[in-house]
Every structure is written in C-alpha cells, then in structure tokens.
Structure 1
Amino acid sequence: MAKVKLTAVCKVCGSEIELPEDVMDGEITSCPTCGTRYIVRLKGEKVELEEFKGDVEDYGE
C-alpha cells in the first residue's frame, strides 16, 4: 500500500507545501518559501489551508 502524499498550495507565493501524513485538523503549518502561516483544515480526503492571523503562542488557549 503506497503512502499518500498530502500537499497544499501556498495562497501567497504558490509554492507546494508538503504535510506529514499524520497531520491533524487545526494544526498550524507554514510555507517553507515565504513563511506564511496556515491552519490545516481536513475535509474528508481534501486538505485546505486557512490563513493564520495571530501569535502561535495564543493559539488553542
């Protein structure tokens, strides 16, 4: 069984963002090219990125 490679596209610079196969809904990731931060939203087999605005330290409290 082949591993599924989860990827998303940065909305700012268009770079491909590779996500770990165990990524969870609501996890924060960032673009390796421009550094824009996103909240990962899993919708079935689909991955969407929601722009993160704020401090990582405040997230989830």
Structure 2
Amino acid sequence: MTSQKKVLNDLQKLTDETEYLLQSEANKNRLLQAIKNVENRQHLIEVNLDEIEKQISK
C-alpha cells in the first residue's frame, strides 16, 4: 500500500469511527464538549513523555 493510500485509509477509518460515535446523543455531547475544552484549554491533562519513557525503560 502506498503512503498516500495508507493516509486515505486511516482518514476513512477515523471518519467512520467519528460518525459511529456521533450516532449516540450522549457520545455526541461528550465529543463536542471535549472539542470545546481543547479550544478553551480547559480540563487538559499534560503528559511528560520523557518521564513515561524513563518509567518504561526501567
């Protein structure tokens, strides 16, 4: 599979999953609220990838 086909395939999977999740009113509301949270930089969790790598490699 070419790189472009893989990207298109991945995008189609994400679209399908999002459409599936949006079918439920509760999921739709949670997803829309999560988008608002990111846009407003609220209720975010910061992750230090260096620390995670250190923990994994122990």
Q: What TM-score results when the alignment is normalised by the length of structure 1?
A: 0.19
* Higher RCO by CA contacts (8 Å cutoff, separation 6 or greater): 1
Q: What TM-score results when the alignment is normalised by the length of structure 2?
A: 0.20
Larger strand fraction of residues: 1
Larger Rg: 2
Larger helix fraction of residues: 2
